[in-house]
Every structure is written in C-alpha cells, then in structure tokens.
Amino acid sequence: MKRTSYVEIVINNKSSHTNTTYTYGVPDGLADQISIGTRVMVPFGKGNRLIEGYVVDDNIDLAAPTFKIKYIQKILDEENLISKKLIELCKWMREEYLCTYIDAVQCVIPTGISYKSDRKIRLRDDYDSMQQMNTKLSDKQNAVVEVLRSYKHITESSLKQMLSFDPSSTIRSLENKNMVILEDHFKKEVNGLTEKIIRISENLNTFEVMGKLKKNAVKQRQILNYLQENGATQWSELRKNLGVSANLIDSLREKGFIDIEIIEKKRDIFGKEEILKDKIFELTDEQNQIIQEVIPFMINLQYQPFLIHGVTGSGKTEVYMQLIGKVVEQSKEAIVLVPEIALTPQMIERFRSRFGNQIAVLHSKLSLGERYDEWNRIKRGEVKIAIGARSAVFAPFDNLGIIIVDEEHEHTYKSEQNPKYHAVEVAEFRCKQHNAVLILGSATPSLESYYKTEKGLYKRLVMETRYNQNKLPDIHIIDMRAELLNGNKSVFSESLHREILKNLEMGEQTILFLNRRGYSTFISCRSCGYVAKCPHCEISLTYHKNNHFLSCHYCGYKQNPPETCPKCGSKYIKYFGTGTEKIEKMTVELFPNARIARLDLDTTSRKGSMEKIIREIKQGKVDILIGTQMIAKGLDFPNVTLVGVIAADMNLNLPEFRAAERTFQLITQVAGRAGRGQRLGRVIVQTYEPEHFAIQASQNHDFVSFYHQEMAMRESFSYPPFSRLVNIMITGEEEADVIKIANEYATELKYELKGIDLSVQDVIFGPGPAALARINQKYRWQIIIKSKAIDQKVIRGIINTIRSDILKKNNVNNVNISIDINPFNML
DNA sequence: AGCACGCCGACT
DNA sequence: GTCGGCGTGCTC
C-alpha cells in the first residue's frame, strides 16, 4: 500500500510567531507534482482558512504524528515556482541574517504574485424570512446588513472601506447566526499581461451560419465577415475597428461560431528605441591577462571569487562583457549587479547593444508587471543574462556560470530592509552552489574584500592603465583654513575659482561635487540658539530655497521657514551650512556667463529628468555641473577636465567606523570623472583636514597606502574585518517601552554570552540611544555586539532566541526589534 | 497575521 | 441574555 507523503511548508504571513515550518500531508493525486519550491494553498489555523504556503522540504518521515494532519488543498503554479537551490539559499539567509522564512522567500519571487485572501460576503437568499425569527441585531450588524442589501457580492476589503469600524468580528457573528455566506476569494497584485485572439471556429461553414443568423444580427454578421477576411484577430483590434462589445463576442462563442485563445503578452520595458550595435573593442594586454586568468575556472566549473582592482577608466566593463560572452557560449547564465540602475544608464546601454534581447533588466523603477515579466523571462530560460540592482542577485537562473558585482564597495548592496542581506554575500553563496565564478570589481575595493585577497580567499586582479593610456587626473588638496586666514570667506578657494575660469575660457566642462542637497543645512536663532528641527525626528531641517520650505531628509516632513524665532520671538533667524542649491546660486553669481546644471535628488525626481540633464551635458550644453554623490558613479563625460570637491571632510567625522573609507572612496570616484577624454584632468579637493590620511592617500591615487593605514586603525579598535558586528535596534513611539525592552535584551545577552564563555572576546555596547535618537516619531535605542569569535553561529542563535523570548513574553506590538548582521549604517 | 476563547462591562 | 472590546494563546 502506498504511504502518505508529508512535506514541510512555510506559511505566507508576516507574524514572527509563525516563523517556522508546518507539516502537511500530500494528497495521493498530487504527489508527483509537489516538491521543494512548489507554491500551494493549505488550510491553516482554527478556522481552516486557506493560505498560501511554500514547500521547503519534502519526503518527511512522520512515524507517529502528535497532531492532526491537514492536507495540501491546491497547487498554485503550473511549474515549480522556486528552484531547490533558491530554497536552500532562503534557509541559509534565515540563519545568516536572522530573518523570517517568509522574508527570505519573498526575496526569490517577484513582488505582487502572492495570493492574499479577500473573501466575498453576501446575505443568505432566505435572509428576510430568517430574520423574522432572529429579530434583534446590533447597530454594527445592521450597518453591515445595510451594505449587503445594496450589493449582491462584496469583498471583505471593500466592505471595510465603506464602514467606519472594523467589521471582522461583526462578520463572524453574522456568520455564526447563519445569516451571511462567505466565499473564499484570493487576489494578487500582478498578473501576466494577456490578449485574446479571436478566430472563426474550425469546420464552421460560415456561409451556412450567415443564413441562419437573424436579419437584425448586423453586428454578428460584421464580426464574422471581418474574421473571414482578416483571419484570427486580436480582441483589442476587433473592438477598435468594429466598435463591438464583449457581450457579443461571448454570445458568438456560446453558439460555437468562434474560438477565443488567450495568449500571454510581454510588457516592453524599452519601448521602440533603437539598439545601436556595439563595437567590440580590441583588448589591452591587461584585460586579456585577466580574462585568461578567469576562464580556466569557468571551464573547470570551479567556484572562485576574484576581486578586480582597476582604476577608473581602465575598461572593467569590457572585461565583464567578454567573460559573459564566454559564459553564454558554454550555455550558462550570468548575473550582473550594478549599484543603482538609474545611475548607470550608460552601462545598461552598452550591455544591451552587445547582447540585445538576451538580457533581462531588473530594477525598482520598473512597474510590478514589468518586473514580473522580466522575472518570468529569466525563469523560463528566454534570456541568459540578468542585469540589475541588489535584488537581481536572486534572478531565478538554474545554470549560473558567473556573477559580476560592479563597484562592489557600494553600500547599496547592503539591504536596509528585512532581510538585511548583503548582495555580495548572497552572490558568494549562489556561486558556491553552482560552482560558478564570482567577479567583484572596483577602483576602491571595500577593506573587507581587499583583506580577503590578502588572506587568499579571493584572487586579486589588477588593472592599472586607463584607456588610451590616459593618465589619472592631478589631484590638488586645498587647505581651507589657510584660505580663511588669507581673508577668503567664500566656499570657493582661490585656485578652484581660477581653474573654473580657465575651463570656461577653454570651453571645457567642470563638475562641482558636494554631498548635500538643499540650500542651507540648518537654520538657527542668533539670540537664543534655537535650531529648527523635525517634529518627528531628532534631525535639523534643511532649507530649500527654490520651493521656500524646510524639509527633513529622513522622513520627508515639510514646513514653511519661520519668520521669527518660535522660541524667543526674535527676528534674528540665520541660515547656516551649504548644500548644492546654494552652490548653484553662488556659481551663477560668480560665473554669470556659464551654463550651469544641478544633478541631485531634487532635480531628478521626475521621470526622465536625469536622462535629460545627462544628455545636455553630453551635447556640451552645460559648462558647470553641480551634484551630489549621484554624479560620482559611472558617468562618462569625455569633455569634463576639472572636478572640484567642495568639502571633502564633510563625512569624515561622522560617528561611524567606515567614515574614512567612505571619504576615500568618494574622493577617488569623483576624481575619476575628470580627464576621461584626451586631455589630462585636474581635481581640486577642498578640506579643513588636509593632513588626514584618507585625503592624503586620495591625492596620490594610492589605495594600498590608504588600505594599510585604515587597517591599522581598524585593528587597534577591533573593527571589521577584525571583528564582526551586530546592531540590534529597538524602536517604538513610547520611549519608556523602548528603554525597557532594550535593557531587558542587553541584560539577557550579557548573561547568556557569559554563560558560554565568549565574554572575553565579545563586547556588548549599550543599550543606549542611537546616534539618530528619533526618526519618524519613533525612539531608537541600540545594542552593538562586537565579536571576534570565528564561529558566529552560536552567538546568532543566542541573539535570536532572546529576541523571540522577549517578543513572546512581553507581547509587544508597539516596540520593534530589528537585528542587523554586519551593518553598514549604525546611526 | 487571523482567529477563537474567555472575561467583563454595558445595555436591553 | 447578548454584544462587542480586549487580552491570551495557537496555528501542522
């Protein structure tokens, strides 16, 4: 006799209490269609309501179940939604990042395909006769019945919208009285785009049919005639040309005159724009060497990470493309990650012109439907290459040959939402699974990656020469303290001013970089010291002159600037600090004949505005471009010969251990925008701390010297890569609750870690208020664990257990505990 | 997250 | 008695 088989299922709801797997029975008829990665509907909870679930283990041995077995009700997709390897990845992420199962699963499927329950409700047909026996109803019940009287069917969610109270308990009481009927109904946000194709039924004698049709059936005749003449026709076309309604089509089908076929359509994310054929460049010796170094690993199907340390403009992209070419030749697949797709339109363009429609593009600017289509093209094997931002690392390929991470040091690869994964770590895991090659590329590698090359975990490949033997730009460091002593109070040093003038004369372009948008960074009262702060956050407000308002860059809050001090009533409100908007205004005043553009979040919020500005720069319609870090990455303007860094030390003194690294990276990246064409570029770096090693090293383009100095600092303070950090953030609107939970958590942590004798090498900081103590109405307390233990698993286990214990014990809905493993942002 | 169950006060 | 509000505990 056949034995029932059992599977483990993850339930799709967000509760931390259901962050586990549940054992379900597989009905005999479905056994061969259900395996790891299948998406199913299962009855769940006391009411046995249907809910979506994902099979994560199969062939479970259940000798003597201690609970009542329920059975899978339905399979949701024709093909397994998730591959076995990606389910493995989800399990790894859950342990690595301490996230829930379902958060991990959501990463590997497209957004919007989940089925959410939205039941339909209607009154019983014999409601009125029943009602006479059951006379009295409460006000709420009456309100619900009123609505149901005017609508035959209504979904739970629309009912909720129409009432001023939450009707769920009322619906339940009416159901218990047998007065309403509930029908299961599920909806999802995204569906494949479809089109109906209409054709005359096979073997239909049109002539005969026409005779049988009634005289007044004019429209029906028209349709049949049209189909007779034109053959199978799309419904949209038929409707447009004949102006016919859907009812008519339905009745013709019921009579058996026509057939309707539904085909899937793809949303076209590129429109009709032409793809120019890319020319394949002659490789330099350096590029060739690198490719020859990597290829053997691809051929031998051997997992190996590489770090390509290549100066800006050394032609890394060409290396990527050639390697991908090889992978595709082997009929394997490739993933390319870029920091932020909107900032790298030029790179996407190059990939498209080289590989054409073999590419799928995944990024956040696409609509849900477009993303769904691109995901499906990958899943079905219609494309071989996926290019995109962080989340593209989950592209559902089965046969990966290579993952490339461009600008691997970028912080955008670290997710700030749950699960707080790092795309490079995920890429490592996937490459190991597939015996694939991992390529990390950067001009300024992260310390962690470079450290791994020193340790032999990654192979290091170096590219030192720029294209056409272009030299790296000359970098001049200007001591702004000296400028001040010489009586120059302007934000432009004398030499920057002079060089800009020179560039204007020569007709060459200039970029001015300041990593802060807005006009003034804070406003303050001179008589009492009041500073305008966001009412929801512990942040000072930035003044935006163009729109004349103060705005909070953390929560988006906006208000008008006060005329007088709200605290003491004085008129002496002063505006301090400088943002890109102010730099723009000063540039206009200083260089009245120059054509000036600004590129930051404020000028690029509208769709297409960024592309427009970039086009104008390329066409030489802009002399001076002012921008935030948006301009630092990937942009290639050959006529830019001068870059001015207005305030290089702006982020140097943030309370963050990566501050120096970020500063070095940013200066180097921005400097790389200069001199990409024939002429030598110049960079002027203004700073109040010219002696800082991060700034000194950037002057000589000397990553290695920066690396050694920074590593010495990291080692003496035991910062990564010499330790591993965990940031536990406790947030909530009630400060007292937040503090209470934070204290409880820290006490437990200290006790437990001591218990396993890790206290010697592990240090717990806090609990205490975070550097940004309040954001969006929420108080923020944190605990930081700095650990040198080689095996982090025990520590993570403890962190996780304590969290679930605390959540269970306190039953807190108003306090959130968020755990960030290897955090990038600890403010 | 849902949902049931149990307890309690308010209201017929 | 019955409704509904709220806290508690469970979900294969």
Minimum CA–C1' distance nucleotide for A177: C2
Q: Are residues A459 and A316 in the same domain?
A: yes
The gap from C-alpha A431 to its chain's centroid, in whole angstroms, comes to 21
Q: What is the pLDDT of residues A19-58, one digit of tens each?
A: 899 999 999 888 889 999 999 999 998 888 889 999 999 9
Q: Are residues A749 and A672 in the same domain?
A: no
Domain membership of residue A275 (yes or no) is no
Minimum CA–C1' distance nucleotide for A156: B2
* pLDDT at A69 exceeding the cut of 60: yes
Q: Are residues A326 and A292 in the same domain?
A: yes
Is A528 a known ligand-binding residue? yes
Domain membership of residue A16 (yes or no) is yes
Phi, psi at residue A415, to the nearest 5°? -75, 140
| Helical segments of A191-284, H only | 206-212, 218-230, 235-242, 246-254
pTM: 0.86
CB A163 within 8 A of CB A143: yes
Domain membership of residue A826 (yes or no) is no
The gap from C-alpha A693 to its chain's centroid, in whole angstroms, comes to 33
Domain membership of residue A274 (yes or no) is no
Q: For chain A, what is the domain count? A: 7
CA-wise closest residue to A785 among A723, A708, A827, A713 = A723
- Give the CA A132 to C1' B12 distance in Å: 19
* pLDDT at A278 exceeding the cut of 70: no
Q: Are residues A317 and A378 in the same domain?
A: yes
Domain membership of residue A272 (yes or no) is no
- Domain end, chosen from A117, A132, A148, is at A117
* pLDDT at A131 exceeding the cut of 60: no
Is A99 a known ligand-binding residue? no
Domain membership of residue A538 (yes or no) is yes
- A568: which residues sit within 8 A by CB, 6+ positions away? A525, A527, A528, A530
- Give the CA A135 to C1' B8 distance in Å: 25
CA distance A105 to A102: 5
Cis peptide bond N-terminal to A690, omega within 30: no
CA distance A418 to A167: 31
Q: In a 3-state reduction of DSSP, which class is residue A61?
A: coil
Q: What is the CATH number of the domain that holds A75?
A: 3.40.1440.60
- Give the CA A151 to C1' C7 distance in Å: 35
- Domain end, chosen from A136, A152, A184, is at A184
- Give the CA A196 to C1' B3 distance in Å: 41
Relative to beta strand A724-732, strand A778-787 is antiparallel
Q: Are residues A522 and A508 in the same domain?
A: no
Residue A442 structural domain: 285-463
- Domain end, chosen from A117, A149, A175, is at A117
Residue type, A216: N
The CA–CA distances, whole Å, from A436 to A334, A387, A448 equal: 10, 17, 21
Q: Are residues A489 and A628 in the same domain?
A: yes
Phi, psi at residue A626, to the nearest 5°? -110, 135
Is A90 a known ligand-binding residue? no
Q: Are residues A744 and A804 in the same domain?
A: yes
Confidence of residue A452 (pLDDT cuts 50, 70, 90): very high
- Give the CA A165 to C1' C3 distance in Å: 15
- Give the CA A171 to C1' B3 distance in Å: 13
Q: Are residues A630 and A708 in the same domain?
A: yes
Residue type, A312: T
CA-wise closest residue to A729 among A818, A826, A655 = A818
Q: What is the CATH number of the domain that holds A200?
A: 1.10.10
Cβ < 7 Å from nucleic strand C: A 15, 17-18, 22-25, 43-46, 48, 67-70, 136-141, 165, 169-170, 173, 177, 811
- Give the CA A769 to C1' B9 distance in Å: 41
Q: Are residues A487 and A558 in the same domain?
A: no
Chain B: positions less than 7 Å from a protein CB are: 1-4
CA distance A505 to A129: 92
Q: Are residues A599 and A699 in the same domain?
A: yes
Minimum CA–C1' distance nucleotide for A13: B1
Give the closest residue to C9 (Cα–C1′). Answer: A808
Quick one: average pLDDT of A799-824? Answer: 84
Domain membership of residue A175 (yes or no) is yes
Is A107 a known ligand-binding residue? no
Minimum CA–C1' distance nucleotide for A66: C12
Q: What is the CATH number of the domain that holds A483?
A: 3.40.50.300
Percent of chain A whose pLDDT exceeds 90: 28
Give the closest residue to C7 (Cα–C1′). Answer: A811
Residue type, A462: V
Q: Are residues A655 and A699 in the same domain?
A: yes
Domain membership of residue A553 (yes or no) is yes
Provide the 8-state DSSP code for A533. Answer: B
- A396: which residues sit within 8 A by CB, 6+ positions away? A82, A83, A86, A108, A375, A378, A379
Q: Are residues A336 and A441 in the same domain?
A: yes
Minimum CA–C1' distance nucleotide for A15: B1
Long-range Cβ contact pairs of A103-106 (< 8 A, separation 24 or more)? A103/A418, A103/A419, A104/A419, A105/A10, A105/A12, A105/A54
Which is higher by pLDDT, A807 or A373? Answer: A373
Minimum CA–C1' distance nucleotide for A69: C12
The side-by-side arrangement of strands in the sheet containing A193-200 is: A233-234, A193-200, A258-265
Q: According to the model, what pLDDT value does residue A764 have?
A: 84
Q: According to the model, what pLDDT value does residue A411 have?
A: 92
Q: Integer distance in angstroms from the first to the last C-alpha of chain A?
A: 62
